[in-house]
Amino acid sequence: MKNLFLSFVLILIFLSGCSSPIITSTQGEPYQQGWTDTQSEPEPEPEPPPFIPPFLTLKSLPKDIIKSNFSNIFIYNTLGVLAKCSDVKDIIITNDEAFATAQIPLVYTANNNEYFYESGSFIITFTISIDALTHITISKADNLIIKFQNGCGLYNLADIPEPVKREWSFIIYMAADNDLESAAIADFNELEAVQLKNVPINILVLLDRSPYYDMTNGNWSGTRLYEINTDPDGLSAIIKSTRLDCPELGINKDTDTELNTADPLVLSMLIDFVKRAYPADNYALFMWGHGTGWRGGIQNDLNQSLLKAVAIDDTHNQFMSLPSFGKAIKGKGLSVIGFDTCYAAILEVAYQVRNDAMLLVGSEGPIPSTGWNYTELFTDLLKNPSLSIANLGNSIQMQFSKQYSGISNATISQIDLTKVENLFIKFENFTGAVANAITTSTARNVVLNQIMQNVESYYFTSFPSDLYIDIFDFSQKINNIRTSITTNSTAQSSINSAANDLNNALSDALPSSWAKNGTTKKIGVHVIPLMNVGVPSVSHESAYIKGSMNLDKSDFVENSSHWVPNFNPKNDSLLDKLFYWVY
């Protein structure tokens, strides 16, 4: 009882000593006791909206399947289905556009430029920026007409029929916002010359044009998505295929859009759209445009013109690096990846995508700007009773070998990506055996001279340029001079054994290839940049150096132990032994 009484007294003393206890208003702001609501400073009136809020969106609903009294309506944008609306009263169709009328009062707050449409069952909140609708969550309303346009989609999933599933959906990523624009238009017309009536394939083309290099077809620039239709006039110069809406990319078939095709997110979302809207048993991705092979991320140690990989976009002054490309296609379930580019059939590229498709088709060296002949390719493929992965690879190889039979350094390769991991291991074993055998500067010079002067190589004729060598020719010629590299019989035996294992791995990983010079097993690997013919650079780029600070290195560079150079040179790395080791 004494303790209880003492506690009570202490509480009274404490309260009597507090002259102005803090009380919180309904707005959450503290004020001193004795103030009144009329004395507090009034909340400032919210500023009027800076401009009319952008409309949400609907496109891609065929007029004949839009019905009134939708019970399940979804707002859809590049992130997927954001929310379900159940209070939309009806759909009004005008000129093939749809309007949803709902009972939604509009409330604007100046805080973060947010708009709220609110009532009992759902809420739409979105934030305004000058260019775009940047944030959406769903909500409720009164006397508001929501017009759907510009990149979100309104879908009654129950009323939209399932797309017809085909054997193949082909995705052709035409990154032509550069000096290849005219070649892209020509290849697009080749696609339209294919007879596509009653065939089990879809062909989708994302075409990104430049403002500068080609004036045909209305001289539009920007990015459009097409489903290829057969041109009744055959091979003509006019694009006649069907433009598509693509909610995932914010593409509207009736308006112009400029996308950065060097952005891997654009490629990733395009694949997602095709898989949703054009389901198929198999998906093939054809990368179209410039290509420079192994390239990693931005660096400043060499001429910036070198810093490319695939998908060069001049308008945005960007390119898609090999690691970024790998991330864009990772887990997408592709069957075939084709590169209508230069320098694609190289080990660095194949290793990056080894787990993301079954077959890679491309050239280990440069190719003419005219690229593949798509009329020949698809006409040959569609003659087959079975549209298998192997038959697709053979059709690509056939048209290429036919078209470029007069080009001396032309090559095309089919690479079985399921065998690339083993090929990488055998290549590493061989290069490690050669590196360990080099113990003097004389031996180093023997190997380096063989690579620079005798091994089959590929590079651009403008410098600086990357040097690539053919792996099969490299392994055979180095094995043939093993006694000039070392007098140690054990080291000689290791080189010979590793060369034979590598030869077998090449046979497994390359079921077919063609070269004008008659050689086979065509796959290359990067050596070093050249400053002129036969003149190597003083160093490699940081993205090709294991252990460098560059954050955008390829899987090949990260996992190689015996080929790529190291930030701190190592005795068992062949490129370290050739360019950085002190003897």
Q: What is the DSSP letter of 573?
A: -
**Residue indicated by tokens 């013919």:** 533
Checking if the pLDDT of 145 tops 70, the result is: no
- DSSP string for 122-179: -EEEEEE-SS-EEEEE----SSEEEE--SS-EEE-TTTSPPPPPEEEEEEEEEE-SST
Torsion-angle region of 74 (φ positive above 0: left; ψ -120 to 50: alpha; else: beta): beta
pLDDT of 162 reads 67
Q: Write the CB contacts of 478 (distance below 8 Å, at least 6 apart in sequence).
A: 434, 447, 450, 485, 495, 499
Q: 502 vs 56, 472, 547, 557, CA distance in Å?
A: 58, 8, 26, 19
Classify the C-alpha dihedral 502-507-512-517 as positive or negative. Answer: positive
Own/partner long-range contacts of 101-105 (Cβ < 8 Å, ≥24 apart): 101/144, 101/145, 101/146, 102/140, 102/141, 102/142, 102/144, 102/146, 103/140, 103/141, 103/142, 103/143, 103/144, 104/139, 104/140, 104/141, 104/142, 104/143, 104/144, 105/141, 105/142, 105/143, 105/144
Q: Which residue has the tokens 């004020």?
A: 31
pLDDT digit string (tens) for 473-498?
999 999 999 999 999 999 999 999 99
Whether residue 449 contacts residue 502, with contact meaning beta carbons closer than 8 Å, is answered with no
How many CA atoms, within 13 angstroms, populate the side-chain half-sphere of residue 253? 16
Is residue 98 predicted with pLDDT exceeding 80? no
Domain ranges of the chain: 63-155, 166-417, 422-579
Highest mean predicted confidence (pLDDT) among 127-136, 176-185, 362-371, 503-512: 503-512
pLDDT of residue 125: 35
**Ramachandran angles phi, psi of 107, nearest 5°:** -125, 130
pLDDT digits (tens, 9 = 90+) for 104-117: 333 334 444 333 33
Least confident of 14-23, 171-180, 193-202, 416-425: 14-23
Average confidence (pLDDT) over 134-147: 30
pLDDT of residue 314: 80
Q: How far apart are CA 324 and CA 345, in angstroms?
A: 18
Among all chains, which residue has been given the structure tokens 């031996």?
Answer: 443
- Residue ranges of alpha helices (H) inside 278-388 are 322-329, 347-352, 374-382
Contacts of 435 (CB under 8 A, 6+ apart): 562, 571, 572, 573, 574, 576, 577
The pLDDT of residue 544 is 94
Q: At what angle do helices 181-192 and 374-382 cross, to 10 degrees?
A: 30
Q: What is the pLDDT of residue 438?
A: 98
Cα distances (angstroms) measured from residue 346 to each of 157, 260, 306, 524, 533: 44, 26, 17, 4, 21
pLDDT for 484: 97
Instruction: Say whether pLDDT at 10 is over 90.
Output: no
- Higher-confidence residue of 237 and 488: namely 488
The predicted structure's pLDDT at residue 481: 98
Residue 66 and residue 93: Cα distance in Å, rounded? Answer: 8
pLDDT at 214: 80
pLDDT tens per residue across span 307-317: 456 788 788 88
Least confident interval from 3-17, 186-200, 352-366, 486-500: 3-17
User: Distances from the Cα of 285 to the Cαs of 340, 357, 418, 510, in angstroms?
Assistant: 10, 10, 17, 19
What's the pLDDT score for residue 247? Answer: 77
pLDDT, tens only, 72-83: 333 333 333 333
Cα(404)–Cα(414) distance, integer angstroms: 16
Residues 6+ apart with CB under 8 A from 354: 417, 418, 420, 421, 424
Q: Looking at residue 211, what is its pLDDT?
A: 83
Where residue 219 falls among pLDDT bands split at 50, 70, 90?
confident
The rounded distance, in Å, linking the Cα atoms of 13 and 107 is 49
Lowest-confidence range among 1-10, 24-33, 525-534? 24-33
Given this model, what pLDDT does residue 491 score?
97
pLDDT for the residue 178: 83
Residue 563 Cα distances to 243, 253, 365, 429, 575, angstroms? 47, 49, 20, 9, 6
94 pLDDT above the threshold of 60: no
What is residue 131's predicted lDDT score, i.e. its pLDDT? 32
Q: What confidence category does residue 93 fall into, taking pLDDT thresholds of 50, 70 and 90? A: very low
When pLDDT is averaged across residues 375-394 and rounded to a whole number, the result is 96
- 359-362 and 411-416 strand pairing: antiparallel
Question: Per-residue confidence at 565, pLDDT binned at 50, 70, 90?
Answer: very high
Paired strand residues for 288: 174, 340
> How far, in Å, CA of 183 to CA of 186, rounded?
5
| pLDDT at residue 141, rounded to an integer | 29
Mean pLDDT value across the chain: 76
Q: Dihedral through CA 387, CA 391, CA 392, CA 393, nearest 10? A: 160
What's the pTM?
A: 0.73
Q: Report how far residue 248's alpha carbon sits from residue 517's, in angstroms, rounded to the nearest whole number.
A: 45
pLDDT-based confidence at residue 190 (cuts at 50, 70, 90): very high
CA distance 504 to 336: 23
Q: Per-residue pLDDT for 456 more than 50?
A: yes
| Per-residue model confidence as pLDDT tens digits over 41-65 | 555 555 544 333 333 333 333 333 3
Give the residue-averaged pLDDT of 245-274: 87
Task: Please report which confidence band the pLDDT of residue 374 belongs to, taking 50, 70 and 90 as the band edges.
Answer: very high
Which DSSP symbol is given to 356? S
Q: What integer pLDDT is reported at residue 19 of this predicted model? A: 35
Rg over alpha carbons for the chain, rounded to the nearest Å, is: 32
Higher pLDDT, 294 or 249: 249
Summarize pLDDT for 266-317 with one digit per residue, the tens.
999 899 999 988 999 999 999 998 877 655 434 434 344 444 567 887 888 8
DSSP 8-state symbol, 204: E
User: In the β-sheet with 90-94, what is the strand arrangement from edge to edge?
Assistant: 90-94, 97-102, 144-147
pLDDT of 80: 32
Task: Grade residue 96 by pLDDT with cuts at 50, 70 and 90.
Answer: very low
Q: How confident is the model at residue 251 (pLDDT cuts 50, 70, 90)?
A: confident
Least confident stretch, 444-448, 503-507, 535-539: 535-539
